Amino acid sequence: MKKRIAILGSTGSIGTQTLEVIREHKEIFIVEVLTACKNANLLIQQSIEFQPNAVVIEDESQYKKVADALSKSDIKVYAGKKAIEQIVEMETIDLIMMAIVGFAALPPTIRAIEFGKNIAIANKETFVVAGEFMVEKSKKYKAKVIPVDSEHSAIFQCLAGEFENPIDKIILTASGGPFIGKNKEYLQNVTVAQALNHPNWSMGKKISIDSATLMNKGFEMIEAKWLFGVQPHQVEVVIHPQSIIHSLVQFEDGSIKAQLGLPDMKVPIQYAMTYPFRIKNSFPKFDFAQYPSLNFEKADTNIFRTLAIANEAMIKGGNMPCVINAANEIAVEAFLNERISFLQISEIIEAAMAKIEFIKSPSLQDYFLTDELTRQKVLEQIK
């Protein structure tokens, strides 16, 4: 039987690449559900091509546009945040691709876990914000969570057949983004266009800025802690400009496993969708002759402050990762709108950590309140 896929966030970078994988393997996959935030035009195009059972547009003002465009089809059309949460309950869904960006993915992810769904998670913020809660929920409801991020997919693949062997260290690789080797004087005046110009990966705007600041890597450290059950001191970051080695795992005997490949998100997306099997595809493949050398260096946390901030939040725990996530989302949006400078992103996040009350053992409600309060404080600071 074909595997029925729900793509939450189908119009974003991960969502569109997931559809590319499905387009190549229509004999294996069926699109069951598509959801989007505001991009009604692309959602309509995707729906006409893939004919899902149902679609959801979060922006309720766009409902009529989507419904009218799909009125001659059998596709069910819904709107609103609550509809996105409820749609994951559909019994016909075999796998959910969680491609919604940011904190907004938390409610539908929790609902999917509570219904025991298999989730391919491309959203890192859910485990950054509420990692302990997510792990407990996944165990309770026996929901399978498969990482899609290239780094966490690499670790997941390296651990295949090794689940009984204790991890000594997880080593996350970072390309360094467009500003590796630059000093603070240079970073003070970088433009939005420069920050979005990632040398290796094609990603959405928010993730591209996170990669430029290295906050993306900071979030991945926190996510790795929860996904793979390790302590903060067991997670480190190394700069690897070529983005060929996607991450490594060192075991207690000193052996290291690495997962290699060209920087193409369709590969980890496909692996998550077909796990535990691998299937053939037409994607470009790595050739060692084209890469005579691979380079590594230590990340400079004095210049890329977000990496140090994320590490501090990971060690402190509680609601601090939630604070830095919320502050980062607002700061990145402000930078994209040219309201603050590049270096102010890390300054704003650090200030938020000092302003928000620390909660050692937060409840789910505490996470939502922390997120709301942090956003409020950061917006006040930016004004």
Q: How confident is the model at residue 316 (pLDDT cuts 50, 70, 90)?
A: very high
| Options 3.30.9.10, 3.40.50.150, 3.40.50.720, 3.40.50.10320; CATH of 3-147 | 3.40.50.720
Q: What mean pLDDT value characterizes the chain? A: 95
Coil, helix or strand at residue 147: strand
Name the percent of the chain lying above pLDDT 90: 92
Alpha-carbon gap, residue 53 to 56, rounded angstroms: 11
Alpha-carbon gap, residue 32 to 75, rounded angstroms: 10
* Helical spans, DSSP H, in the chain: 13-24, 40-50, 63-69, 81-87, 106-114, 125-141, 150-158, 184-187, 192-196, 205-213, 215-227, 266-274, 305-316, 320-336, 344-355, 364-382
pLDDT of 49 strictly over 90: yes
- For residue 135, the model assigns a pLDDT of 93
- For residue 26, the model assigns a pLDDT of 95
What average pLDDT does the segment 7-20 reach?
97
Alpha-carbon gap, residue 379 to 383, rounded angstroms: 6
Going by the DSSP 8-state scheme, the letter that residue 72 receives in this structure is T
| Residue 263: HSE in the Cβ half-sphere, 13 Å Cα cutoff | 15
- For residue 102, the model assigns a pLDDT of 87
pLDDT of 238 strictly over 80: yes
| Domains in the chain: boundaries | 3-147, 152-316
Burial call 123-137: b when 16+ CB within 10 Å, e when fewer: bbbbbbbbbebbbeb
Q: With contact defined as beta carbons under 8 Å apart, do 50 and 86 qualify? A: no
Alpha-carbon gap, residue 34 to 10, rounded angstroms: 6
- For residue 383, the model assigns a pLDDT of 80
- Is the pTM for the entire model greater than 0.85? yes
- For residue 89, the model assigns a pLDDT of 96
Alpha-carbon gap, residue 271 to 143, rounded angstroms: 18
pLDDT of 207 strictly over 90: no
